[in-house]
Chain A
Amino acid sequence: MTLDNQTIKIGRIGRGVIGSVLSGRLAWTIVSFLSLLALWALVAAILQSRLFPGPLDVGAKFVSEAASGELAHHVGITLARVAAAFFVAMFIGTAFGIALGVAKGADQFFDTWLIFFLNLPALVTIILCYVWFGLTETAAVLAVIINKIPNVTVTVREGARSLSRDLTEMAQIYQFGTLKTLRHVTLPQLAPFIAAAARGGLSLVWKIVLVVELLGRPNGVGRQLYDGFQLFDVSMILAYAIAFILVVQFIEIAVLQPIEARVNRWRR
């Protein structure tokens, strides 16, 4: 049969097209990035102010912070907090989302709870966690988790409401049982919703973690930004901001996009 050959050919053509689009996009990214840099340098040159350093000053600060190990230390701590809060919140939020999407009674019961937590300002959660549990690591991470769970729950619930009855019946007939059904029938259907929750969630978690660190932690990127603010050290603020953006982009490209591509491999 020629099917395999055909599939492979289509695959190659597909990759070729994507490849050229990518390289076109890469060129644009570089042009766009360089012009942003040029504009920044120009404005800095005109202003000649210590409070608006140019790319070279910020670059120098970045290098010195990196060389001293400070940068890696604080970025690493922030990353660890982000990772802990992210995974715990995704796990609990997804479980709640599935439960509420599948069980109508539970959904009605918990709807007001969800609305309450969705609309609770992040800052309130953070302050309350610090007040109740002290300025501890647990309180910090817990505050982020509580902020994040309702968003994940709402997104995943949307997916769980539209689970295919056809496939559920199929799984029932062939006696898949709970775990097999979850892994092979339910979660793949929820994958786009979980991916959306993860994406939106990651950017949210990053930002809240910075606030949490600023308010009550002795280390992390948020703390460094606060120190930079106290000293009016704008180079330091921008150096950490850029490090932060680089790490977020790296995770997006090296982790999230490959996972998404793999999960969507079956789509025609």
Chain B
Amino acid sequence: MNEKQSAIRVTVDSKAFPAVADRPEQLVLRGVELEVQEGSFVVLTGPSGCGKSTLLNIVAGLDPDFQGTVEFGEDDAKLSFMFQTPRLLPWRTVEQNIRLVLDDEVAEADGKVAAILNRVGLSEAATAFPERLSLGMQRRAALARAFVVEPDILLMDEPFVSLDDPSADSLRALLIELWNRRPTTVLFVTHDRIEAVMLATRLVRLGGTPASIVQDSEVSLSPPERLDREKVLAWRLRLFENA
């Protein structure tokens, strides 16, 4: 397989939300063109409310109401989406939540569910209902669910917001571990600049109203450098100097 093959090619000529009641029609995205190489970890950032989630939903196929096209490298590319909230089924146990995203034969075979639960540290909580767990643990379950389907493309929309720093750090470390073990194409939305530098191999910034891409930079940090606070802060300054 060619390293440089593109996994996602999205073109949004324009995306508007129709007028409702007292609010006029709102043009959110215009002229956004983004091509994501296979295996890269692209972080999409920009001010709150600029249209990052809107763009991610378009890529995911959740919002078909836009002018433009979305194409994937493979026709039947398998998607995972880790949302801003865990979106677990509260009436199913953690284990059932993960089992449900797999085909029945896959779920029954070879202890896949148990393995991923173990990897994210939820073996003990497998039979618990999600709402009895902390937000951090619910997010772990959502992360496990996103990886267990072995996706070709993983979309993540601020998956670690509103966690305390240690929980966010350990989830990020877990994401990196899972990603190293099974590399996949990631499109990750965040407005946390440090998080952006720590994770990205490429950083894409949205800006303006309506939003378009205002910056597109490679982030060539080695894995150990990403855990080095000095290095990360230096890169953050460099990447966001004119922001």
Contacts and interface: CB of A to CB of B under 8 A. Distances in A.
Interface of A: 1, 3-4, 7, 166-167, 169-170, 172-174, 176, 180, 184-185, 188, 191, 263, 265-268
Interface in B68-99: 79-81, 83, 85, 87, 89-92
A7 B132 contact: yes
Contacts, number: 57
A195 to B, nearest CB: 13
Contacts of A3: 124-125, 128
Given A166-B85, A268-B132, A173 B62 contact: yes
Which 8 pairs, one residue from A and one from B, show the smallest C-beta to C-beta distance?
A1-B124, A174-B101, A266-B129, A188-B91, A266-B91, A170-B87, A173-B81, A268-B131
B129 A184 contact: no
B contact face: mostly helix, strand, loop, or mixed: loop
Interface of B: 60-62, 79-81, 83, 85, 87, 89-92, 100-101, 124-125, 127-129, 131-132, 145, 149
B195 to A, nearest CB: 23
Given A1-B124, A166-B83, A184 B132 contact: no
B89 A167 contact: yes
B124 A4 contact: yes
Contacts of A169: 62, 81, 83, 87
B83 A170 contact: yes
A19 to B, nearest CB: 21
Contacts of A173: 60, 62, 79-81
B174 to A, nearest CB: 16
Contacts of A191: 91
B91 to A, nearest CB: 4
Contacts of B127: 4
B131 A266 contact: yes
A94 B124 CA distance: 38
B128 A7 contact: yes
A184 B89 contact: yes
A268 B91 CA distance: 10
Nearest to B92: A184
A186 to B, nearest CB: 11
Nearest to B62: A169
Given A173-B62, A268-B131, A268-B132, A188 B89 contact: yes
Contacts of B87: 166-167, 169-170
A194 to B, nearest CB: 13
A176 B145 CA distance: 13
A266 B62 contact: no
Interface core residue of A1, A3, A4, A7 (most chain B CB under 10 Å): A3
